[in-house]
Amino acid sequence: MSRTFQALVVRESDDKILTRSIEERNIDDLPLGEVLINVHYSSLNYKDGLSCNGNRGVTRHYPHTPGIDASGVVESSKSKKFRAGDSVVVSSCDLGMNTAGGFGQFIRVPADWVMHLPKGMSIRESMIYGTAGFTAALSVKVLKHQGVCPKNGPIVVTGATGGVGSLSVAILANLGYSVSASTGKRDSEDFLKELGASEVIDRDGVNDKYGKPLLKETWGGGIDTVGGASLATILKACKEGAAVAATGMVASTDLPTTVFPFILRGVSLLGVNSQATNMPLRQEIWSKLAHEWKPNKLELLAIDCNLEQLDPEIYRILAGEQRGRVVVDMR
């Protein structure tokens, strides 16, 4: 007799109305894959909120179980890379998008998606990071690769209270950078400074309303999680030779700027696509998060809940009201 497990399932009715509920699922109904994982923890990302809300750009077919992150223990494996009992992490790839995801107590996925849990990191800690932390760390890596270092000047981080933003602030501060954290949440200054931000600025400070081609040279680099006018403003206010990592587009997909920041100041715009990262680089980044890049205040970021408590958090993240990282206990 096949085992059953609990999962959050999003369904679409014949008249296109979406509902989500916790259901009893059968392991035999999971998609094909080499590795069956007993999920201990997942996390909530903005993309999960979109999937829960029926966004076809994220998930094409319903019913569906979201959750682009999962960590837990291998139940069984057809791959020689993994054995029953191994602690593992699955982050991004197609998990939780068009493949049943981490908001279920079991997942079955291709072996190429699975990574051994880095030494020095707990299963729960891996989900404080999740895709958001991996994206933040990848952004830091591309900035460092471009030559952005603490002596170049402050790094501005937009959407600083969100998952990618807050972890970017924490990682950069831990590496000795001066961080200007931009947010629209006026009550989050203490939170961001405790993470390591040198200053907290209102998001209007990274929104040039006058359309100037260049602004005063202010920042040595940036991590933008918002897109649109914020990204354009950062580029125009960067110092000579600075670089900006672009990770999100929650505000807009448009980029209302000119070529002036690029050809007059040599500013670099670096796109970050964490989903398509190859496994060797993925392992390198996760190892850094377990050791030298681990923020001193990692636990400050965690909001713990279980499946029954997840629904209000989904509404919060879609409304832009989330702070830090929601860790979902699936045990």
Q: In this structure, what token pair is assigned to residue 206?
A: 């990274």
Residue 211, pLDDT score: 85
- What is the C-alpha to C-alpha distance for residues 247 and 127, in angstroms, rounded to an integer? 19
- How far, in whole angstroms, is CA 129 from its chain's centroid? 8
Alpha-carbon gap, residue 257 to 173, rounded angstroms: 29
CATH architecture of 131-274: 3-Layer(aba) Sandwich (3.40)
Say if domain 4-117+298-329 classifies as CATH 3.90.180.10.
yes
Q: What is the mean pLDDT of each run of 10 residues along the chain (331 residues)?
A: 88 89 96 97 95 89 96 97 98 92 98 97 98 97 97 96 96 97 92 96 88 94 95 96 94 92 97 92 97 95 97 94 95 95
Element of type H or E holding 171: helix 163-174
184 and 203 Cβ atoms separated by less than 8 Å: yes
- Show me where the domains of the chain are located: 4-117+298-329, 131-274
Instruction: Give 256's DSSP letter.
Output: -
pLDDT at position 111: 97
Q: How far is CA 117 from CA 30, 125, 141, in A?
A: 23, 10, 20
Residue with tokens 């981490």: 102
Tokens of 136: 């933040």
Give the whole-angstrom CA distance, residue 285 versus residue 304. 24
Alpha-carbon distances, residue 33 vs 15, 75, 94, 106, 218 (angstroms)? 33, 13, 12, 12, 49
* Structure-block tokens of residue 186: 């006026």
pLDDT at 62: 93
Find, among 282, 330, 319, 331, the residue nearest to 162 by Cα.
Answer: 319
